[in-house]
A and B are shown apart, each in its own frame.
Chain A
Amino acid sequence: MLTELSAYTNRWRRVPPAAKGLFSFCGMVAAFAACSPRSALLVALLLSAATILGAGVPALRYLRIATPALLFLLASGLSLLVSLDFGGSNGGISAHLAGSELSRIAQVSCRSLACLTALLFLALTTPLVDIVSLLRRCRLPDTLLDLMTLCYRTLFVMSEAVHETTTAQSARLGYASFRLSLRSLGGLVANLSVQVWQRSQALQLAALARNNDGALRFLGPEYPDSGRAISGAAISGILLIVLAVTLP
């Protein structure tokens, strides 16, 4: 969990989530406001610089986390660029470059890239727990946030269960051949479904025992000196937007 690791160990871990959220939001606005591919690229560059140089997320780790999304972006850019033509005049398939659309495609891709870096900024500097409590303060529906909290927690519990079960299966040669692997995989799924069921029941009991009657309520984390951090984030965020709009 590289994202996790960064969120908990970066230099800006103690900066109020509201400030980081605001900056990231401004970054996204700037990405949409950018009127040329060049200014969108600049926004992306500044946001990743803030993450790498400011928050101190190692550049290599940053790249590793961003790679899947970048590949996805590249693939969609290419698919916009090249259009296949079925059933042309002579019945074959022809491919041609969308030359006239080139600038539009560049614009869209660069904007997406800027948005990606804005999201990465938040994800790599702020633990999910803080993000959820920030969203709670932004009055997002409780049910949604409770679901996020439980899913996030369950993710780790389940990945541990998967790890344990697969280890136990491999120890008994469960994955020694393709046929055995399929069998073991079936066993894993069956085992996990039972575990999910049992765990959800146990969680419900535990909630009852602690006097719960519906919504999951937690005390949000406290951050000192949020006023200064938030105004700092607002100023730099607005500068980012202004830059994106004014740059030709």
Chain B
Amino acid sequence: MTAAILSLADVSYRYPDGTQALNNCSLTINRGTRTAVLGANGAGKTTMFLHLNGILHPSAGHLLWEATPLDYSRSGLRTLRSRVGLVFQNPDSQLFSASVREDVSFGPMNLGLTDKIVRERVEEALHAVGMTESADKPVHNLSYGQKKRVCIAGVLAMQPEVVVLDEPMAGLDATMQEEFTAVLERLHGAGMTIVVATHDLDFAYGWADQAIVMRSGGVLACGSPAEVLMQRDVQDELGAVPLVAEISRQLSLIGIDLRDNGYLPRSKSELLKAISSHTRQENTP
């Protein structure tokens, strides 16, 4: 469970135009975990993600798959990209075909699988993101949220071990975000390692096992969301705190302890439940 699957060791990256996007960035992602990557715009999240999939090569430092340094040869990259699936932020810039099924088949076809297996995987992936019904529609008639799900299906159909999603929640409404969280939960349940870049502190706090906060190309803090997101410097950097955590903290200041065997509520519904069970306890003599 706690075996490292992917790690960056002192990785630095400079874009051709001279922008130093990563600066001695070190972090570790464990197998089967959920990681949320936070940080202001321009902190280097996307650049870091492009390294995870071998699209960008570090100018200094190196990446490790399990314990071995990445192999940047042609075949090494093929293996890496079949293990690490990357979903970009903008769906319109990663959907190639106008047909949903065709687009999802793109990745597995590149893996050189037979038509029969590709067909099975496409259907499985569409099912996993709940897009089976819309699979015959042309891509340009889908909603933004549906396009995003097609993008994820396109990566799932390659059956990677790690799925990396760049700001998947951006531009989704509340219901779509909830559906989306459910999709992520299913993937996590199936044993997949998931890395998500997000600006949504409440989501990161409630969902992730590990939070990584980036600042100007480096890692500012890293650890369990409950610890990391309540750190002073992190709050200053992100300009906010997860609401649920803040409410629990404020309540504890006025003597209401919501802890249940040391477990603090992590989502709105857990918070409401904890508050109501607390009041019930108060009222019973």
Q: What is the 8 Å Cβ interface bit string for chain A, positions 100-136, against chain B (1 contact, 0 not)?
A: 0000000000000000000000000001110001000
Given A127-B98, A152-B98: 7 more A-B contacts, CB < 8 Å: A8-B138, A129-B138, A199-B93, A206-B93, A210-B158, A211-B78, A219-B119
B110 touches A210 (CB 8 A): yes
Partner of B53 from the list A203, A209, A216 (CB cut-off 8 Å) is A209
Cross-chain pairs A/B with CB under 8 angstroms, 7 sampled: A153-B95, A153-B97, A210-B107, A210-B110, A218-B109, A219-B109, A221-B99
Chain B contact surface mostly: helix
Bound-state CA distance A218–B119 (Å) is 10
Cross-chain contact of B81 among A210, A217, A218, A222 (Cβ < 8 A): A210
B138 lies within 8 A of A206 (CB): no
The distance from the CB of B111 to the nearest CB of chain A, in whole angstroms, is 6
- B117 CB, nearest partner CB in chain A, Å: 10
> With A and B bound together, what is the CA distance between A222 and B123 in angstroms?
13
Q: How far is the CA of A239 from the CA of B50 in the complex (A)?
A: 58
Q: Mark B121-163, 1 if CB is under 8 A from A, else 0.
A: 0100000000000000111100000000000001100100000
B179 neighbours in A (Cβ, 8 Å)? none
Mark B103-114 against chain A: 1 for CB-CB distance below 8 A, else 0: 101111111000
Query: B93 near A149 (CB under 8 angstroms)?
Result: no
The chain A residues found within 8 Å of chain B, CB to CB, are 4, 8, 127-129, 133, 149-150, 152-153, 156-157, 160, 198-199, 202-203, 205-213, 216-222
Residues from chain B with a CB closer than 8 A to the CB of A149 are 96-98
* Contact among A129, A157, A212 for B97, CB-based, below 8 A: A129
- The yes or no answer to B55 lying at the interface (CB within 8 A) is yes
Among A156, A198, A211, A222, contact of B82 (Cβ-Cβ < 8 Å): A211
